[in-house]
Structure formats: structure tokens, C-alpha cells
Structure 1
């Protein structure tokens, strides 16, 4: 597929890397010379220096051949204008990144297509939604929803003393009565393993489990953990992410926001009257202590500075705050965060790339996600009558060895599939696949 990406910032660059791996043909437009050079060095793509909303530059990038235009600059006016030009030129799919919350409000006067974009992506809202899921499932390192929330993927780190350790997975299933869940991946020593029945879990493993949402509390108890009841949260950083989280949780949880900018603090206090807003330096331990950080059930570091977020989160961990979540955007930092004891980490760049890629992939893909440090994709397919996957039971299908079917949604029933399970048309199928097997998995859904 020919994809034109506008903007070679952190999000555009990561999107280009992901789509190049998936063998799409990438062309990129970037205004700044240093970012053009970086993209040219790191991507297998045509990179053009110029303004992404200038028609002449878009023509130079062969706009007429593009099947998707993804406008990912940090200027929403440029993104929306580029999308509108692309749509007028006949591009089938246009995706625009925005920052103004009004554009994604249900009651906004203009629909996305009237703005020129088929899909509007709001990175800060995507990130806030991920943080809210982690607050509501407080023992997890990651939470991803499939089948409109009827299937959930949990990431959980196993501590020493967990009852699940050093027992073959097949024996664990028997011990707990074949529960409605499946361990689909193990992250161990920065390597991603797709487990088999005889594999055993070890201390420090980060396991990824696909589970019926109603069964999650019981599964958490099996791991030896307990969900913390969260009633008080401190958020470091009053930007859009912090404000979205406070808006979503403010009616059920007591929230304090620590913001270093005096003017923004006043604006937040006016916009969120139920939230306590503190003007001060969030890295000042004395300030945090004065404002009661030790009494918090959760601490969220969501400033625009990765180093501040990491340091503040480690301080919160040292103070035994039960739940900590950090925003970390530098991709090179992400594999290191578990090794320094960070609880849960979200990346605005990766969440945005996941959201964009979901729309670029084939129509039968309804959810597509990747997780920092995990060499695999989590994909939800919708099976159709002519697909190869529906022709015979799973045990008779040559399924790639680097992939696993985690769950099937058949009507309103979630099924943990076995060898004799046969996928039916309209079933929603959640698959974990390592990158090298993705193309072979997609062929089964064609």
C-alpha cells in the first residue's frame, strides 16, 4: 500500500518505521531540514523537504498515487488542510492528528469528513484513555480491550512467591479448572516468548493474558497480587493528558494536579472545579510531601519531559505509593523502564501509531496494538465466509509457529480456542503474532 506521511516528528517517524516493517511503500514530507535528514537515515522511504499542506509539495510526493495520507505534524491546521487536499485529490483514506479537544467532542458542529479527514486521531486523548484503563485495573502493567471491551488483554509482572511460578502452564490450567483465559506471551529478559503448555513461569516474567473481563479479579488473585482500591490520585503535569484523566475520573476519585506553570494552573482550576490544582515544581520532594503524596493510592507522571516523569515516578515508588504510571515517549527508554522498577508506562507515540495503523490495515482488522518492549502485535480480526481460517478446525490449519490465537468472540460468547475449535464467519479473533509472522497470519484472513 502507498502511504504518504506528513510530518517526520516522533510520531511520524515511528509510524514510518512500523509501516515500513509491514512492507508498505512510504513517502514522507517534512518541513525541517534536521528531521528530513533523520528520517532519510532511519527509514526505507522517500523523504521530501517541504510544507505538508502545499499542493505543489504534495504533487511532488505523488499524492495521486497515495492510498492513505496520514497527517501527523504537531500543527493541526496543517494536518486538516493536507487531509482536505488529499481527499479532494481522490485519496481513499485520510487520517489527521489534532490537539484541540473540540474536534473529537461528540457535539462538535463539524463531522470529521467535513474537516477533510476520514479519521481524527487525538494522541493526548488516546494516552489518557490508556492511563484510565490502568487505574481501573491497578495490578496490570498494560490493559488493551478487544471486541468492544468483551475481551481484555492484561500485562502482569510476576513477583517472587507468586503461586503461578515454576509450574507447567498446562498444569496451571488444570489446577484452576480451565479458566477463561490464555497466556499468549511472556516477556523475559527483554525477549518475547510465545508459550507452550510445558513452559513454566519465572520470577520477574511479564506475562500477557487474554481474559474474560468478568474473570479478571480471580485471575489477579491467582498471581498473588491484590487490586488496590484507588480513591486518591496525584497527577504530575496539568497538560491535556492530565486534564483528560482528571475529567474522566474526577467524579469517582479525589484528584490533585501539580502544575509548574502558574497561568495554566489557574486555567485548570477554573476548567476542573472539582480537582485540587497545586502550583509548584513536581520534582520538589518537600512540596510533594506537603501535599500528601504518601497518602495517595496512585501517582501519574504526565509532564512533557520524560526524565522528570521517570525521576518523579521512582520517588513515588520509593515512598511506597501502591500504583504508579509514567508517560515516557523516548522509544529508547521504554525497554529500560522495567529494569529500574517502574510499574506501568505509557507512550503517546506508540499509542498514536497503534491507532493510526489500525485504520491503515485491512478492513478485517478492528483492533491492532503493540506494547513497549514486546516483539509482537496484538490483532483483532473479523472472520468472513471466504477466509481460509473458517474452512477447517484450528488443529488442521498451518498456523504460523510465531503466532497464537488467544480468544474468539462468537456472538456474545468468549471462547478460549482449542485444536478442534473452528472459526465461523463474523467471529472476532484475537491473535498475538510476532512481526515476521504477521503477513502469514493475514493470509489466513483473506
Structure 2
């Protein structure tokens, strides 16, 4: 596939990094020479310096032969115009990064497809959706659900009191007699490990499991984690992400939002129906205490300053808040969350890039999910008649070492597959795989 990416910022670069393993013909367009130089030094892709709204620049990128144009600059106007021009000049599909919620809510009434905009991606809205998902379980750092919650991917931190600490995976197998969960990945010192029998759990590890409903409770019990219900939420920052988050949460939780800008507070109060908007400095611990931080279940920091978000989450954690989520601009910060005490750090640009990547691949897999900080993807496949994966038991398939089958759903029943498991047509299979291995995995399901 020939793909043109307009914008070499965080969204464009991360997306190009994901796609570089897919053997696509990639071209990145940007006006910033330094950004393009960074891309060229790190990725094997073509770069063009210029404004993506220029027809001549798009012609240089061979827009008429392109299958997909991804408009991912930081300027909404540039993205919209680039998509419209690109479609007029012959590109087959366009994906456009936007911030204005009106485009998302009214895409049909506005006739975006007729204008040439096939798909819109809002980093702010996607970040709010991610935050809402992360609040489902306080003791778990990450949770992704498959097929009506019959299987879930969950993340757990190994702390000093964890019973699994310093034990190998093989030594803990007797703790899972019902085979209703499987350890699929360990994030350790920014390195992703696909665990095997002799892999040892260490202090500070961030461990990921794919579990059946009964297995989720068992994992929490085995790791000494206590689940607590989320009823109240405090949001720091009236940014677009803060607004979108409050809008999603206010009908489900008791929600407060703290914003320093007084005028913005008035605007937010007008737009939010069930959120208490407070004018004040969220870095002021006295203010947080006055607003009941000690009795708040979840604290979400989404100001424009990453350091403020991290520090305020640490302050909230120190006051007994069960769940903390910090929005960070620097993607490298995400790996720190497992070590410094913030439950989860998210980056809206990374989320947007991953969403766009799923959109590109949605024809070959049922779903694809990226896990924060983990150098691997969670893929969901449906087994076809005569697929390669149906020919032998799992242990004889020579499944790639950089991937692991985490769970199977068959006739609305979940299974944790062991070596003797034989796949059948119409099975839904959840696989964790490193990026470089995805193409090999797909071959098993064709």
C-alpha cells in the first residue's frame, strides 16, 4: 500500500514507525527540516519538505497513485484542506486529525465524505474515551475487553508485597488450576518480555494477563490487589481533553473539574450538565483538600503541562486516591508510570496514531489494540475454514516466538489455550504480538 503522511510530529512519526514494519511504501511531508531529518535517521521512509496544502507538493508525493493520505499535522485547518485537495487529486482514502468535536458529531450532516474526508480522528476525544475505559477497575492499570467481556487484557504492577515476586512463571502454574488466565507480557525497564516458563517476576514489573471473567478476580487475589469501586472523580484541567472527559464521565460518576482560567470555567459550566466546575489552581494542596481529594476515588490530570499532571497525580496518590491518570506530552514518560507511582500515563497523540493504525488494518483483523508502553499489539482474529492454524495443535504450529495466543472464544465460551488446543473455524482468537511479527501471525489465519 502506498501511504502519504502529512505531518512529521509525534502522531505522524509514531504512525510511520508502526507502518514501517508492514512493508508499505511510505512518504512523509512536513515543512520542518529538523523533524524530517529525525524521521529519516530513524525510519526507512521517503520524506518531502513542503506544505501539504500545496498541490505541487502533493504531486511530488505521487498523490494520484496513493492508497491512503493521513493528515496528521498540528493544524486542523491544514489537515482538512490537505484531505480535500488529496481526494480531488486522486488518493483513494483520507484520514484526518481534528480537534473540533462538531466534526465528529455531525460528520454526516456536514457531508465530510462528499468533501473528501473519509475518516476523522480526534486525539482529545480518543484520550477521553481511553480515560473512561481505564476507570472501570481501580486495582488494574490497564483493561481491554473482547467480545462482551468474555476475555479481558489486564495490567498489574508487581510491588514489594506481591506474592508472585521472585517466582518463575512455571513455579506459579499450580495457582491457576482452572486455566482461566494467561500471562502474556511483562514490561520491565522499558523492555517488553514475552514470558516463558523460566521467566521470573521481579519487583517493579508491569505484568499483563489475558483472562476469563473468573480469571480477573483470581489474578487480583493472587497478586494481592484489592478492587475498589469508583464513584467520584476529580479532573484537573479544563483543556479539550478535560472537557471531553467530564462530558463522558459526568452521568456515571460524581465529577468535579478544576480549572485556573476563570473565563474558561464559565464556558465549561455552561457546557457541562452534571459536573461541578471549580476555579482554582489544582497544584494547591489546600484547595484539593478543601474539595475533598482524600475522599475522591479517581484523580485525572489533563492540563497542558506534563510535569504538573504527574506531580499532582503523585500528590493525589499520597492522599489515598485509588486511581490516578496523567496526560503527558512526552511519549517517553509513559514508561515511567510503572516506577514512579502514577497508575497510568497516557499520550493523546500516541492514542490517535494507534487508532489510525487500527483503521488501516481493520480489513485483515477483527480488532487491534496497543497497550501503553508495551512494544506489542493485541490482535483479534476470526479463524476461517482451512486456515493454517486449524491444521495442527497449537504446540505443533511453530507459532512465532515473539507472539503468544492469549485466549479463544468459541460459541460464546472463553478458553485459555494450552499446547494441545486445536483451533476450529469461527473461533475468535486473541493474540499478543510484537510489531515485526504481525505479518507472520496473519498468515496463520488466512
TM-score, length-normalised on structure 1? Answer: 0.92
> Which residue does the alignment assign to 1:93?
93
> Which residue does the alignment assign to 2:15?
15
Q: Distance in 1 between matches of 2:413 and 2:255?
A: 37
Equivalent pairs counted in the alignment come to: 446
Distance 1:373 1:163, change over 3 A: same
State whether residues 383 and 426 of structure 2, in contact with CA within 8 Å, keep that contact through their aligned partners in structure 1.
yes
**Aligned positions of 1:173-322 closer than 5 A:** 173-213=173-213, 215-322=215-322
Q: CA deviation at 1:241?
A: 1.7
Return 5+ residue gaps in structure 1 as ranges. none
State whether residues 364 and 382 of structure 1, in contact with CA within 8 Å, keep that contact through their aligned partners in structure 2.
no
Which deviates more, 171-180 or 290-299? 171-180
> Which residue does the alignment assign to 1:431?
431
Distance 1:329 1:87, change over 3 A: same
Q: Distance in 2 between matches of 1:20 and 1:14?
A: 10
Q: Pairwise CA RMSD of aligned residues?
A: 2.4
Q: Distance in 1 between matches of 2:112 and 2:427?
A: 29
Q: Distance in 2 between matches of 1:364 and 1:231?
A: 39
Q: For 1:109, what is the secondary structure of its paired residue?
A: helix
Q: Deviations over 1:379-415 (max 9, x none)?
A: 2223333532233322221111121111122242222
**Aligned positions of 1:27-42 closer than 5 A:** 27-42=27-42
> Which residue does the alignment assign to 2:154?
154
Q: For 2:130, what is the secondary structure of its paired residue?
A: helix
Which deviates more, 219-228 or 323-332? 219-228
After TM superposition, what 4+ stretches of structure 1 lie above 4 angstroms from structure 2?
A: none
Q: Distance in 2 between matches of 1:88 and 1:420?
A: 54
Instruction: Confirm whether residue 336 of structure 1 aligns to residue 342 of structure 2.
Output: no
Q: CA deviation at 1:200?
A: 4.0
Which deviates more, 34-43 or 208-217? 34-43
Q: Distance in 2 between matches of 1:362 and 1:269?
A: 39
TM-score, length-normalised on structure 2? Answer: 0.92
Return 5+ residue gaps in structure 2 as ranges. none
Distance 1:335 1:260, change over 3 A: same
> Which residue does the alignment assign to 1:379?
379
Distance 1:142 1:334, change over 3 A: same
State whether residues 146 and 367 of structure 1, in contact with CA within 8 Å, keep that contact through their aligned partners in structure 2.
no
Instruction: Confirm whether residue 323 of structure 1 aligns to residue 329 of structure 2.
Output: no
Q: CA deviation at 1:268?
A: 0.6
Q: Distance in 1 between matches of 2:229 and 2:258?
A: 22
Q: CA deviation at 1:107?
A: 8.2
Q: CA deviation at 1:115?
A: 4.5
Q: Distance in 2 between matches of 1:426 and 1:342?
A: 40
Distance 1:8 1:418, change over 3 A: same
State whether residues 379 and 431 of structure 1, in contact with CA within 8 Å, keep that contact through their aligned partners in structure 2.
yes
Q: Deviations over 1:394-442 (max 9, x none)?
A: 2221111121111122242222112232333333221111234333223
Q: Distance in 1 between matches of 2:146 and 2:88?
A: 34
Q: For 2:135, what is the secondary structure of its paired residue?
A: helix
